Structure formats: structure tokens, C-alpha cells
Structure 1
């Protein structure tokens, strides 16, 4: 795949970039290793100042970087501004909390004595150079939620971003440089996917994190496993959105639309499968479908646009294949199911609601990365949990109920990294984020995320000789 900015609203190639050669990659790896040898010794006060400065610059740059993101991958401009603001917020959160999250831990006096020590502590130390392989769908946020904690922990970063968002990737390197981080603390590597293995195997790289597709995750995990290097993977999701009879149906239907079409439907944590109790199925579906039909599809630079184009021509083709397979096997489209007549150019797809889904349809098990919702009618809570778990993924989930007993049963029963009640899944720097099953392993954000790339070190001091003997 060429490294290029291709406007998905028009299909026009705006700018292309040459991939780095082997000699330049090696130079940058050496630069990262040298930077880590110095940056690891900085104190939290210095790191805090640097990251807060980066947040300030990002706030000042918000409109410009939002337009770059929208141009490169098609997200509505309002959503792009919100993404930039969220990144600045996360930077400030880690700047404020990293020192306490990584504070030395002290075992109990009884345990210290029992271990034969005079004193003992647990200390969090940085691992080193961390390679981040990141996707295009949230081209700023996906990187910052890795970079902010990694840098505050004393690590340095190498970014291999998706090839269709090169200008966003270069902006991030420049942002951290302008903030005052030493050269080499954060570098963007404009390389294709074929270069990842050699970089990851390099002895100067200590660990890797990847957000992306399941095949990409398998590849990085296999390489890192062979090299015995730490990885964190956040892969696909096919999140359930369960609606029970006690729910506020009007609010559930309204939220369901946002949960499905956020980022033009291209979000791992977007609700994709809507599992509705039979008692409220008709009411919910009528409201949900009506709102999906009312969405404005169009130019993502326009403030009034709800749904822009998919990020690539191949991405739209993948969605079309899943929808056509479902329709051919007996599903029904309550709305959508095709390309819109207008805009005529660009990689647009109509907001779609499919019902009558059966396990033999690909969309039942595969992630639909576009504005396509599937709805299921279930008889009771047990069936709702069974359908929710009938997926290879387990990233997050949404449940609408006002029954306390149901809340506890769903919390115990749903296999996912998160269960959000009476709202939609969202990431926040204070809360751990990640999945189970084929959605990956490890956690980003919160204290769990910052500790993923730390050497958890036991520091043990032997007891002094017993002079009485």
C-alpha cells in the first residue's frame, strides 16, 4: 500500500511520501536508543512539563490537525476536533497522575520480615524503545493513548502509522519535538507493513503495541513472541448493544444511532449487534431505523454532516460484501444496504439496518467496519447473553436495563473488556481499555495502561546480621 494522503470524499490522491530506507531506519533506531539512555533518567516534574506543553500546542493546533485528519480518513470535521481535544485531555491526565500511578509500592512489614529482608520495595522502571503500530480510524487518539503514558513512564516511542494517514503521523512527531522532548524520544517511521518485522526484531526495540486488525495482531504477536518481547494488542470488536424491557427505549434508540455510526461506523468499540428483547423489539427498531434514515451523509468538511465516507475504497467493498452475503442468505434491510446516489464521488455507504440475521451469514461472526447495524430479537436475558457472546471478539459491550438483578447478571455473563450500562462505550484516560478473546490482550489507559510497558522491579535488602548472636 503506498504511503499517501488520498481524500476518501473524492478519491483524489493529494500527496505521496517515500518510505524510509534501511539505512535511515537504522539511524532512527540508534537515535531512539540514545534518547532513551538519557530520557529514562529524567524526573516526573520534567516529563510533566513536556507533556503539558504538548497538550497546550495540540489545543492551539486543533483546527488545523482536525482538517488534516478529515482530509486523510474522512471523519466528520466536528468529530475530528473532538478527537484532538480528547488527546490533549489525556496528555494532561497522565501528566497529572503518572507519578502517583508509578509510585514505589511497599509490602507489609510482616511480609518484608518473612522474606528475610530489612526492607523491600516494588519499583516501576521504563522498558525502553516501544514500537507502536497504529491504525487510521482514530489517527491521533490511538497514538496519544499509547504515547502519553509511555513517555510519562520514561520510555521512548517509534510510530509506524497506517499508510493512509502520513500527514497526521508526521504532525505527531513534530508536536512532541515542538513541546521540547529530546530528539529521538518520539519518532514517526514512514514505512510499509513489510518493514515491521525487522524493526521489531531489532535488539534496540524492547516492546510493541498494536491497534488494528486480527491478522496484523497475530503477525506482530508471533514475531514478538519469537523474540520474547512484551506486546499489547487491541484488535477488532463486534460489540453487542442489548436492550431489555425496563430500558428507556427512546434514549436507547437515540444512543444506539450514535454508538453505531460514530466515526462513520469505523470504530472497534462501536456497537454493531443490537440484541433486543421481544417485548420491546418493534418499538426499538422503529425508532432506531427512523433515526438512521434521518442521518445526513455527505462532505465530512461540512458541519451538518453526520456520516462521511469510509476511509478507503477497499473498506467500502468489504462492507458491501458482508451486506450482500446477508441479504442473499435471507436478511432484510430495514434501511440502506447500498451506496447512496449522492455524493457521486467518494467512498460513501448508506446507514444500514439489517434484521433476520442467522449464524450462517458472515456478518454474524465478522466485524462490519462501516455504518451497518444488525438487529436480533431475543426472548429473555439468557438468550441475550448467549447472542452477545456468540462472536470471536470481546472488546466492549452496552446494556440497557434499569433492573439491578439484570445488571449483575449481564456483568457476570458478558465476555468483554467492558460492560457499559445505559450509555455507549467510550474510552477515558482514567479507565482501563482492552478486550478478551480475539479482541486482543493487555490494557491501555489508566494505571493498568501505564504499567504495561514498565519493568516491575523487586528491590530487596537483606537483614543486618544479628549482633546478639
Structure 2
């Protein structure tokens, strides 16, 4: 772990780098990101193996994570300059909006998508002219160091991206450093609340991408075969350790008898295997303590009357046979995020109740609705309280579209060109010359 003096040295280095980096034209920064994408392409399997080694993700999914990072980096490397000066018509002779980078931005990132989450934050932030210091999850220091090395090997000036090997206790001191101008956190609700309070106390910008308990709504006219296949993947990909994963399967009562048996059969196809084998779809959770927490949540749900559709069976410290339970309003498990291979089923008597059940959570990240009726689909899309809605698809993030949550799932925007402006200051310049 870095000492206080070592942290300060790195922050000073990031600030010196910022003074020069912000002067580079947008297109010059983009050229370096093109080199970063190419470098990552040449090292895809090597980088993927770091993910699998650190947090047990199946290697095929780790490769997919690196490939998604490359697509995202190329998107920004080839995108339009959204920071160019904007001229505005006013009564003044000169009326312009300039977008100025803030400075050093701290990223506090989780272990579940260690490359994707860190780069999803860092790439648009650095493209905007800022520099970044990363506090990664304690089990992902190897990932953080690998990303720093990738930036340097791609030709970025030293100090533009730095990985800080520090624990959670160091975050407050880093955020209180006057050279650090903002923070982006992806993680749990308690972690987000803590970091946001520190940022707020110090009058600094924060972006939070927090937990989810997203709904996968299956209506009576859905394609049940596709919904069942995609639904199992949406719950169990990455061993269920995904903030935007489907967690509550809300089924119209007229769809229950047709959909639920198909869904259960698809769910059963996920059996725990060796994470390094490319045909493995489900491996272990990232840590034993996380698996312990999931068992406690499962028992809590059962204590309050949940019906077991498929039992959650523990194989060893981190591996499970995936579980599926039917729950009703009032079960306290509905107030928690399930981060592991356990799904919940709820039944709605009509469309209105399905919508009400979906919104009956403090979270609001990304819901999914399944129907062949366009009018009905957009009724749900417009009334679901979340940052994203997928129609007849699995909810997922895409480089081209803004990503962020509603309610207790956080605030601020990641991805798309909107993200480039998150850590900039729109400066109005007016006058007569």
C-alpha cells in the first residue's frame, strides 16, 4: 500500500501532467486513444487472463470485456469534438461557451468488471483534458497497474493515468487534496453515499453509478423462448455480479404457465465450471465473503415466505448451483441488491401491476420489458423509473448511449459523448471587441 507521502507525490505528478495535457488539441488526444485500442487488441487474451485470475470471471466473458473496452475506446477516438467552442447569438459582439477540464479526477472502481468500469470512466475523462488517479478494488491492483502500463505504452504522458494501490481508508484524504477536483465511483450504495458526502463537504463534483435491482418484465404476448434464454443470461452472466443484471423477473399472470417452465430450464443450463475453460458460462464468485452474504440474503428471503423454485446450493467457498425464488411485496429481500447467482420471480395480475412492481424499489438502473406490442412497450419504457429501458433485449451498456441511474442507483452520466463533458466546466465568455 502507498504511504501518504507516496500518494501526494503521485497527485503532484498528475497535476503537472494536467497542466500540459489540457493544452493538447482534442484530435491529438484521440490519436493516442487509437493507439491504446490497437495495443489492447494485440494483448486481448493476456489482459483477459488478469481479470479471470483476480476475480474468477469465465475467460470467455473476460475476453468479451476486453473487446468491449476496445470498442468503447475506438468510439471516443473516432468521435466528434464535443468540446469545441460554441458560438451563441446574444447582444454582445463576443458570446462563446468554452469547455474547460477540471483537473485531477479520482476514480473509485469495483472488481466485477475491472477493466471496463475503470476505462469507461477514465477514457472520456482524459479525452476531455483531465488526468486520472484510480483507486481500484483491493483484489484488482493487477488490473489497475496493467491499465497504467497500457496508457504509458500507448504514448500518453506519464501522470495522465495513475493507479494508486491504496485501501478505502485513503479515499477521504485523496478527495480532500485541493489538487483533486472530482470523483467518479462505481460501487455499492453505502460506498457511494460515503464518497459523495466527502466530495460534497469539499465542494467537489461527483458521479455515482451504484447498485440495481432491475426488473425483467415478461408480458402475456412476449416471445417466451427468447425471453427465457436471454433472461437466464441476464441474471447469471458474471455469476450474477452485475449492477445492471436482471434481478427481479416480473411475470404477467397470463404468461406464468408458458414462460416460467422455459425460464427454469434455461436457468438449469448454468452449471459451475473451470473459469479458464472457454466453454464455461458460470464460475465462482469473486470472494468468499460475498458468497457468505448471498447465503444470508437467501435465508432472509426464505424466512419471510419466499417460495423456492430452484434451491441455491453452495458447492464450495465461492461456487453455487444458481437459485431462483418466488417472492411477494413485503419480503425484505426486495429492499436489497442480490449480487450473485440468485434470482427473484414476482407475478403481476395485469400490466399496471407489473409496472407498479417494477417501480417498487429504491433502485433505478436499467429495466427490460418483453412484449410484441409497440404501444405497450413504450408505455412501460416511458413510465419505468430507471436510467435505461431495453425492449425485448437484455439491459446492457453501449459506448454510444448515455449510461446512468435514477433514484438510489446514482447520478451523472457515463458513456456516449455526454460523458466527455461530465468533468468539464462550461465557461461563458461575453464582451465587445
Q: Could you say which TM-score interval applies, normalised by the shorter chain?
A: over 0.9
Q: Does 1:354 align with 2:325?
A: yes
Equivalent-residue separation in structure 1 for 2:305 and 2:72 (angstroms): 45
Match of 1:313 among 284, 288, 304: 288
- Counterpart of 1:405 in 2: which secondary structure? helix
- Counterpart of 1:305 in 2: which secondary structure? coil
Bigger Rg over Cα? 1
Is the Cα contact below 8 Å between 1:329 and 1:361 reproduced in 2? yes
- The superposition leaves residues 320-356 of structure 1 with CA deviations (integer Å, 9 ceiling, x where unpaired) of 111111122221221131213xxx5x4112211111x
- Counterpart of 2:100 in 1: which secondary structure? strand
Equivalent residue, structure 2, for 1:451: 421
Equivalent-residue separation in structure 2 for 1:358 and 1:401 (angstroms): 23
Is the Cα contact below 8 Å between 1:239 and 1:271 reproduced in 2? yes
Match of 1:391 among 361, 378, 381: 361
Match of 1:162 among 137, 140, 159: 137
Q: Which runs of 5+ in 2 are unaligned?
A: none
Match of 2:396 among 426, 432, 435: 426
Equivalent residue, structure 2, for 1:195: 170
Q: 5 Å matches for 1:166-245?
A: 166-245=141-220
With 327-336 and 24-33 compared, the bigger mean Cα shift is at 327-336
Equivalent residue, structure 2, for 1:335: 310
Match of 1:381 among 329, 332, 351: 351
Is the Cα contact below 8 Å between 1:296 and 1:304 reproduced in 2? no
Is the Cα contact below 8 Å between 1:331 and 1:354 reproduced in 2? yes
- The superposition leaves residues 13-63 of structure 1 with CA deviations (integer Å, 9 ceiling, x where unpaired) of xxxxxx000111110010001000000001123211111111111111111
Equivalent-residue separation in structure 1 for 2:310 and 2:275 (angstroms): 22
- The superposition leaves residues 371-421 of structure 1 with CA deviations (integer Å, 9 ceiling, x where unpaired) of 111111111111011100111100110000111221222122210001110
Equivalent-residue separation in structure 1 for 2:223 and 2:86 (angstroms): 45
Equivalent residue, structure 2, for 1:103: 84
Match of 2:97 among 101, 122, 126: 122
Equivalent-residue separation in structure 2 for 1:329 and 1:126 (angstroms): 51
- Counterpart of 1:219 in 2: which secondary structure? helix
Q: CA deviation at 1:279?
A: 0.6
With 304-313 and 400-409 compared, the bigger mean Cα shift is at 400-409
Q: CA deviation at 1:98?
A: 4.8
Equivalent residue, structure 1, for 2:48: 66
Is the Cα contact below 8 Å between 2:60 and 2:279 reproduced in 1? no
Runs of 4 or more above 6 Å deviation: none
- The superposition leaves residues 350-370 of structure 1 with CA deviations (integer Å, 9 ceiling, x where unpaired) of 211111x12332321111001
Match of 1:90 among 72, 84, 87: 72
Equivalent residue, structure 2, for 1:461: 431
Q: Does 1:417 align with 2:392?
A: no
Equivalent residue, structure 1, for 2:120: 145
Is the Cα contact below 8 Å between 1:69 and 1:139 reproduced in 2? yes
Q: CA deviation at 1:125?
A: 1.5
Equivalent-residue separation in structure 2 for 1:217 and 1:326 (angstroms): 25
With 325-334 and 261-270 compared, the bigger mean Cα shift is at 325-334
Q: Which runs of 5+ in 1 are unaligned?
A: 1-18, 465-469
Equivalent residue, structure 2, for 1:265: 240
Is the Cα contact below 8 Å between 2:250 and 2:348 reproduced in 1? yes
Match of 1:291 among 263, 266, 269: 266
Is the Cα contact below 8 Å between 2:271 and 2:321 reproduced in 1? no
With 402-411 and 180-189 compared, the bigger mean Cα shift is at 402-411
TM-score normalised to the size of structure 2? 0.98
Is the Cα contact below 8 Å between 2:48 and 2:62 reproduced in 1? yes
Equivalent-residue separation in structure 2 for 1:34 and 1:136 (angstroms): 29
TM-score normalised to the size of structure 1? 0.91
Task: Report how many residues are paired.
Answer: 433
Equivalent-residue separation in structure 2 for 1:84 and 1:304 (angstroms): 17
Q: CA deviation at 1:315?
A: 0.7
Q: CA deviation at 1:449?
A: 1.1
